[in-house]
Amino acid sequence: TLVTNDMRTPYSGMLPGFVEGVWNDEDLHIDLAKLAQFANARIVHAPCTGIDAEHKRLLFDDRPPLRFDVLSINIGGQPALDVIDGAADHAIPVKPIAQFQRRLDEVIKTKQKQNLAVIGGGAAGCELALALSKRWLADTGERPKMRLFSRSSRLMPQMAPRASKLIEADLKAIGAYVHKDTKVTKIHNRSLSSSDGQNYDFDACFLVSAVKPPSWVAESTIECDEDGFIRVGQNLQSLSHPYIFASGDIAALHPYSRPKAGVFAVRAGRILAHNLFRYIRQQSLLAWKPQSNYLALIGTSDGAAIAARGSFGFKSRFLWQLKIWIDQRFIDKYKSFDMPPAPKLDHLKGINTNEAKNSDPAFSTMRCLGCGAKTGHETLQNAMCDAVSIAVDLGADPDLMPDDSLQEDAASFVSPSPDMRIVQSVDMLSEIVTDPFKLGQIASVHALSDIYAVLGKPLYSLAIINLNQAKISIQTDQLTHILAGALLAHSMAGVKLVGGHTSEDGTLSVGFAVTGIRPDHAQKSPVKDDAVIILSKPVGTGIVMAGHMQLKARGDWVTSSINSMCESNRVAADIAMKHGIDWVTDVTGFGLARHALNLAIRAGAMGCYLYPDSIIALPGAELLANDNVVSSLAAQNQAAVRLDFNGFDRHKTALLFDPQTSGGLAMLANPEQADKIMAALTATGHQPAIVGRISHQSTGITLTSDGVS
């Protein structure tokens, strides 16, 4: 399991080149969603806020603790903003890099900001000052007024004196003021005070300081050094907890102390990987003795670079090309992933025709997840107990939590009043996301949506969960996360989980049978001939998650799709009922086109017009469609409707047939209602769109531009 606060991680060695304009944002980031998918790893996208080392648990603020057997901590450090008074309020720290990029963009957009200060005389600070000057020259045609502050008597004090002289000469060549042996004592709004008794004005101040560990590391029982970094031996194993490993800036290597430099983190990686596997297999661990001297290449933003190693230092243009090659080669290893070869299938050519193979997903090399033996009592009981406690701590209503009725063979509840009709539905999902907490949320929202689609109120549900075969501790942890996510989603909907069935097999799946009520209306209101189709959510979850399985989807696209799948249709259904809408459906596995057509026919129309250009797509969905990424059910969805493309190309229409997991509500509204409904949906955080209208003249679906017959 990969636990990460961000779905992308930057390579800091390329940051000065990014600032200068050599690299773009995508160049210096590693997409962790792709990396995890390639490695067949579960990914948990959430900030860790604590560690219970004794009980082997990672702690979070908004989700259940995550149990581990072996833990590898590689979280780097965070800027030590407390070393200078006012730094937290008035300086721009270089780390975390995502925040630095955002604030740098804000500074660059304000063209009058020409007075820059950089605090930090190490290699990173010098590189940044030179890169900022080059960026300003390229953007504005002139160099900024630059000041660099260093507490040391020479720049880059850990490197060769010759390298220090070269970098200082480069800074002076761009007109920078270099303040050596000068400590910044306080940072004000647009000025700073220093140990030389002077105040210096700035428009933007950049801080390249030493790093410190997150407070929750030092607050744990893991042995740390005096600065709060995790003490590890030569095998990168914690000195206090042998099942915990650490490397990079977060680790304090004993007895070979080394600077917090990326070169050591990179070179520790191979030893770390070997030792994690060796520890699991109870084999002897490998020792790592980092070199005392290492080659550093420092870009000077003039088409050259300085090489420093030991007492050696020189500058050349060739070294800059070498640095570019090294950085590109390193980052490419984490970007150029190939899908593993698909297992060979026996297609039984004698009985399976080409037509069958082209239309049946069973013959696909990759089959998408999503819409498409009894667990032990102790596992279920422990997981449910923990899940209830966690869900309540996260804000769930205690009155909606499961009670002792779970011990009964069947759930029972009070019958509805005579003017109410009972409505029921059941839905199940395979492991569309690898995070079990999110899977529990999505499966709940997806199942409850069918009740909202009939404008009902869900009241109770039964869980249907099939776990992977695993040891009890892993099953219990996984079930706890699924149930905690599910109970939280149920509570937000006012629904109580009253029972269910849990089994185990080779694959994970989660579903719910939901019981609700709705008014016993004898007749629905008719819709006008020009009634429009409103869709409450963007579409594209099938394409994005298929792209994720094929290593083509970016991590932020996957995150957007997961967030969309977690979004309930309860509010959209309430808005529909408030405006007197009777004709509603939810867009799920059959895709928008089929669901829209069914809705129109149910309302008495012959067919419908759909507006491909008006459909809102989830981030990345259209790009993936243009790259021929489709979900395995898309072809069947298209074959299930009579469709007049009316000149629209296939890529423009891929979203019409994309199977949705936990998709939005589609509703028929008379034109005079449409604007009010759209405004109400937008005001509640939805991204609605008018995607079509019904037709009483033509059967099937006709594609057209908005408002054009």
Q: Read out DSSP for 604-624?
A: T-SEEEE-GGGPPBPTTHHHH
Q: Is pLDDT above 90 for 242?
A: yes
Question: Is the previous residue joined to 214 through a cis bond, with omega within 30 degrees of 0?
Answer: no
Q: Catalogue the E-assigned strands of 520-596.
A: 532-535, 584-586
- The residue type found at 270 is R
Q: Which residue has the higher pLDDT, 293 or 624?
A: 624
Residue 405 pLDDT greater than 60, yes or no: no
pLDDT of residue 72 exceeding 70, the answer is yes
Question: At what angle are helices 570-578 and 671-683 packed, to 10 degrees?
Answer: 140
Distance separating alpha carbons of residues 564 and 567, to the nearest angstrom: 5
Confidence band of 368 (pLDDT split at 50, 70, 90) = low
For residue range 350-362, what is the model confidence (pLDDT) as tens digits?
A: 666 665 555 555 5
Q: Does the pLDDT at position 426 exceed 80?
A: yes
Question: Out of 502-506, 550-554, 566-570, 584-588, which region has the weakest mean confidence (pLDDT)?
Answer: 502-506
The pLDDT of 215-234, averaged and rounded, is 91
| pLDDT at residue 638, as a whole number | 87
User: Which pLDDT does position 293 carry in this prediction?
Assistant: 74
State the chain's mean pLDDT as an integer: 89
User: Per-residue pLDDT tens for 39-69?
Assistant: 999 999 999 999 999 999 999 998 999 999 9
User: Per-residue pLDDT for 372 more than 50?
Assistant: no
pLDDT more than 70, % of the chain: 91
Q: Which helix (H) or strand (E) holds 97?
A: helix 97-109
Angle at 441 between CA 438 and CA 444, to 5 degrees: 145
Bond before 255 cis per omega within 30 degrees:
yes
DSSP assigned state of 13: G
For residue 290, the model assigns a pLDDT of 78
How many of the other CB atoms lie within 10 Å of CB of 622? 17
Please name every residue paired with 423 in a beta bridge, in sequence order, or none if there are none: 516
The domains found in the chain, sorted by start residue, are 2-79+215-294 (3.50.50.60), 81-211 (3.50.50.60), 377-519 (3.30.1330.10), 532-703 (3.90.650.10)
CB-based contacts of 122: which residues, under 8 Å, 6+ apart?
Answer: 150, 155, 156, 157, 158, 208
In this prediction, residues 319-341 reach a mean pLDDT of 87
The CA-CA-CA angle for residues 4, 221, 249, to 5°, reads: 45
Question: Is the predicted pLDDT of residue 155 greater than 80, yes or no?
Answer: yes
Which run of H or E residues covers position 57?
strand 57-60
Checking if the pLDDT of 341 tops 70, the result is no
Give the pLDDT score at 482.
Answer: 96
Distance CA 264, CA 533 (A): 58
| pLDDT-derived band at 444, boundaries 50, 70, 90 | very high
Could you tell me the maximum CA-CA distance found in the chain, to the nearest angstrom? Answer: 91
Confidence of residue 345 (pLDDT cuts 50, 70, 90): low
Rounded to whole angstroms, how far apart are CA atoms 579 and 242? Answer: 62
Please give the C-alpha separations between residue 304 and each of 14, 156, 299, in angstroms, as whole numbers: 15, 17, 6
Residue 246: both structure tokens together:
């650490």
Three-class DSSP category at 657: helix
Report residue 379's pLDDT band, with 50, 70 and 90 as the boundaries: confident
Q: What is the residue type of 226? A: E
Res 298 pLDDT > 50: yes
On the question of pLDDT at 556 being above 90, the answer is yes
Query: So what's the pLDDT on residue 34?
Result: 93
Question: Can you list the alpha helix ranges (DSSP code H) found in 117-160?
Answer: 123-140
Tokens of 449: 């949506």
Q: Name the pLDDT band for 504 (thresholds 50, 70, 90).
A: confident
Are the C-beta atoms of 584 and 666 separated by less than 8 Å?
yes
pLDDT in tens, 657-677: 999 999 999 999 999 999 999
What is the pLDDT, as a whole number, of residue 158? 85
